[in-house]
Amino acid sequence: MKSSIDPVQNLAELITCPSITPAEEGALTVLEAMLTPLGFSVERPTFREDDTPDVENLYARRSGNGPHLMFAGHTDVVPVGDEAAWTYPPFSASIHNDEMYGRGAVDMKGGIACFVAAVGRHLEKRGGLNGSISFVITGDEEGPSINGTRKLLEWAKAKGESWDAAVVGEPTNPEKLGDMMKIGRRGSLSGTIVVSGVQGHVAYPHLADNPIRGLVTLVESLLYPAFDTGTKDFQATNLEITTIDVGNPAVNVIPAKATATFNIRFNDTWTDETLMAEIHNRLDKASGRRKLRPNKKAPVNYELTWRDRVSHVFLTHDEKLIGTLTSAVEATTGKRPQLSTSGGTSDARFIKDYCPVVEFGLVGKTMHMVDERVAIADLETLTQIYERFIADFFA
Ligand SMILES: [Zn+2]
């Protein structure tokens, strides 16, 4: 049991496995070896789907009488980028000036290393646990996220598992440990608009119908007016046009087709359905506008397709979970964390369908960058926060 209570040792073991998504490369084996001596029973299901890589995942539970707490995260990491640009090799776990370098140091092998250490210390001090803890760890968070947390939760539920609360160990602090906890996430939705016109000679526009005029009309209707001004818990909903494509090499040809793709990050003013309806509505209205198409009688001929999987917006309301973690952070760091819903999506979007979920981990400043690194002091502090949280949660 000894080594598992040291987060620095735990993290070094995890970083030295080059588990670039979706490769396992020993990272789950190392984690299993930490958890088994702590009394966890470990399972490692592999999930498959056409056109995606097979992904190995880990579910480990230590059972007891009382509530069931989930700790969720991922052992896969993003690629290292230009390896020569790293000051120390990305899988060496080198320590310099009280910082450990390595891909995954903060996102998020560090969070896992600390939670394992916290559980180990709790068990060592108290000799047991008034409840159950499960590790829900995937190797598919930085990739397509198809064979990861979503399927792992379905798989566990099918075996009869259920949880009372969850903590995700993603790096949530922008500058210093204690800055920020995430209690929800915005939703995300993407779509592509294809406008069909009539190809022709630029000198004879009355014989053609330039789809770019139509596309610009439609796109403007999505950019203005704003969808909302934000809510108590969320930033304003924001839509960005991510690409406009025509692919027309000729200067004297009016093209036949023009395409635009957008992504919208939305708050709890909307649901997927109401937002999709609003977008359809705006496009339909705009399609009849004549400003850019004064001589055209027919409305803009367009088709809208929704892309990818929708991420639903969510907000956690569990005061006990939020309060217990907030107190643990404040007692350890002296700072009361801001409760935020900012940033991109995370696997919490899958967990929220099973139990209340909050996110708190390391400082994210260097995540996905060259020279990703974590302060050794932060590893110890986060371990103490988690240990205190575990003690209070099961008290
Ligand atoms: Zn992450």
- Quick: pLDDT tens for 118-152: 999 999 999 999 999 999 999 999 988 899 999 99
Residue 280's pLDDT is 98
Please give the distance, rounded to the nearest whole angstrom, from the Cα atom of residue 104 to the centre of ligand 1.
Answer: 8
Please give the distance, rounded to the nearest whole angstrom, from the Cα atom of residue 384 to the centre of ligand 1.
Answer: 21
Instruction: Name the band, by pLDDT with cuts 50, 70 and 90, for residue 160.
Output: very high
Averaged pLDDT for residues 27-56:
96
Q: Which of 101, 173, 98, 137 is nearest to 382 (CA)?
A: 173
Residue 2's pLDDT is 54
Q: What is the dihedral of CA 386, 389, 390, 392, to 10 degrees?
A: 160
Q: Where are the alpha helices (DSSP H) in the chain?
A: 7-15, 27-35, 109-126, 149-158, 211-223, 272-287, 319-333, 348-351, 376-393
**Which amino acid, 156?**
A
Q: Tens digit of pLDDT for each residue in 294-344?
A: 989 999 999 999 997 789 999 999 999 999 999 999 999 999 999 999 988
**Of residues 310 and 7, which shows the higher confidence score?**
7
Please give the distance, rounded to the nearest whole angstrom, from the Cα atom of residue 374 to the centre of ligand 1.
Answer: 14
Residue 1's pLDDT is 46
Give kind and range of the element (H or E) at residue 72. strand 68-74
Q: How many residues does the structure list for the chain?
A: 395
Residue 109's pLDDT is 98
Sequence-ordered list of residues with C-beta below 8 angstroms from that of 329, at least 6 positions apart, any chain: 178, 181, 335, 336, 337, 360, 385
Q: Which of 240, 262, 242, 248 is nearest to 210 (CA)?
A: 248
Over the Cα atoms of the chain, what is R_g?
Answer: 25
Pairing of strands 68-74, 132-138: parallel
pTM, whole model, 2 decimals? 0.89
Please give the distance, rounded to the nearest whole angstrom, from the Cα atom of residue 164 to the centre of ligand 1.
Answer: 23
Averaged pLDDT for residues 246-254:
96
Q: Is the pLDDT of residue 58 over 70?
A: yes
**Token duo for residue 66:** 């009382």
Active site residues: 76, 141
The pLDDT > 90 percentage for the chain reads 95
Q: Is the pLDDT of residue 113 over 90?
A: yes
Residue 3's pLDDT is 60
Please give the distance, rounded to the nearest whole angstrom, from the Cα atom of residue 318 to the centre of ligand 1.
Answer: 23
Measured on CA atoms in the order 302, 305, 311, 312, is the torsion positive or negative? positive
